[in-house]
Amino acid sequence: MRLLLLEASENHHETMLSLIAYADALDPRPALYVAAPPRWIPLYQSLPEVAGLLPLEGENPVEQVRAFVHTHDITHILYNTAYGPLPLRLAWRLRRLHQSGIVHDTEKLHRFSAMGWGTVLPLRHFWVLRGQLWHSLPRWWRQKSHPLRLAALPRSFSLPPLEKPSDQLWIAIPGRLERKRRAYDDLLEALHQRPPAPHWRFLLLGPANAPYSDWPTLQERIHSYGLDPYFISFSEGLDFPTYHSYLRHSEVILPLIHPSSPYWEKYRRYQITGAFSMAFTHRKPLLLHQDFLAEPEFQDCAWGYEKPTELLACLEKLPQLLTQPLYRLPLWEEGPEALRLGLSGGGER
């Protein structure tokens, strides 16, 4: 098998890293190639698991990919994001190849989306990133799909060292600093009512100066509540190894997805937040709104709360909670097998 992993956008490269790790674990191991925007090429160049690279640039990426497929005798294409103009055009033009992909937002499959359906229909297989999302799909889509939990990094992916004060407890909040996605205001109001312990540090891992960032408003509120010492932010986006190093050094991951968030129903019904995958990858516990806890993924890696003040109570009990065993279910080892089933064309089990 000669497998091309393709991501046309600037997003979802944590997903690509898990795919590389799972493909590298297959027996026989496929020859791995990556097509990605130029910004991400240095990341994949650093991985010996990757045999060749295609920077997606210029005015005609379709012909770029088609020429690369021919030159390297590619047998399988996996779209890291099975959505968008380039996957749509390639999926129909390369139908002789085994094509598969990841659907990050299943809402497109619950309603008619010309681009979503047009991309997924010619694929022999696709994956979704939570078991609950797969179970809720219409049966005709389940017949050509599997859940795939992202819970690995390539063996060669190295994390830079960080200096973490020994007396600090790091609570990582991954993702963009956008209030429509995460309930930052709920957290700040809870901390205003119930002051944090001196050793708590909330890591806001999204770039503060990104377009559409709500950091100026959040920073103003943090300052007005006297909470500046408890928050660590980053003006620009962290490079991927450093980002993952902060996650590895954190005690707990906090997605901050609450009913008060505009994206609440979106995250509950149709997609996954990257915070889940980051926690799974680094085997870190999650602090989650209790409505998520019935899903299989969260049975042995998450603690629930309903109100923001209950979240703070969980943080106060964190030293005791961290003594509990985590990530013991067999599903955390299923990634390579789920990938293999899709690459061989297997459908619903």
The CA distance from 185 to 130, in Å, is: 27
pLDDT of 129 higher than 80: yes
The per-residue pLDDT of the chain, averaged, comes to 93
pLDDT digits (tens, 9 = 90+) for 179-230: 999 999 999 999 999 999 999 999 999 999 999 999 999 999 999 999 999 9
pLDDT for the residue numbered 345: 62
pLDDT tens for each residue of 68-90: 999 999 999 999 999 889 999 99
Q: Is 93 helix (H, G, I), strand (E, B) or coil?
A: helix
Q: Can the peptide bond before residue 28 be classed as cis, meaning omega within 30 degrees of 0?
A: yes
pLDDT tens digits for range 280-299: 999 999 999 999 999 999 99
pLDDT value at 1 more than 90: yes
Mean pLDDT for the stretch of residues 232-257: 95
Q: Is 118 helix (H, G, I), strand (E, B) or coil?
A: helix
Q: Is the pLDDT of residue 133 over 70?
A: yes
Distance (Å) of CA 131 to CA 88, 143, 268, 269, 270:
25, 14, 12, 11, 11
pLDDT classification of 95: cutoffs 50, 70, 90: confident
Nearest partner of 246 among 183, 204, 188, 198, judged by Cα: 204
- CATH for 2-149+334-343 is 3.40.50.2000
Write out the two tokens for 158.
């190295």
Tokens read off for 10? 């600037």
Q: In the predicted model, is pLDDT for residue 319 greater than 80?
A: yes
| Residue % of the chain over a pLDDT of 70 | 99
Stronger pLDDT, 59 or 260, i.e. the higher one: 260
Q: If pLDDT is split at 50, 70 and 90, which confidence band does 116 have?
A: confident
**pLDDT band, residue 346 (cuts 50/70/90):** very low
CATH topology for 169-321 is Rossmann fold (3.40.50)
- Per-residue pLDDT band at 349 (split at 50, 70, 90): very low
Provide the pLDDT confidence category of residue 13 given band limits of 50, 70 and 90.
Answer: very high
Q: Across residues 24-50, what is the average pLDDT?
A: 96
List, for residues 173-185, the tens digit of each pLDDT value: 999 999 999 999 9
CA 150 to chain centre: 7
pLDDT > 90: what percent of the chain?
Answer: 87
Q: Distance of CA 161 to CAs 48, 138, 164, 236, 243, Å?
A: 21, 46, 9, 19, 11
347 — pLDDT class (breaks 50, 70, 90): very low
Torsion of CA 20, 118, 297, 188, to 10 degrees: 100
pLDDT for res 320: 87
Whether 126 shows a pLDDT value over 90: the answer reads yes
Domains 2-149+334-343 and 169-321 share a fold: yes
- Tell me which DSSP letter residue 105 carries: B
Mean pLDDT of 129-133: 94
Report domain extents, the chain: 2-149+334-343, 169-321
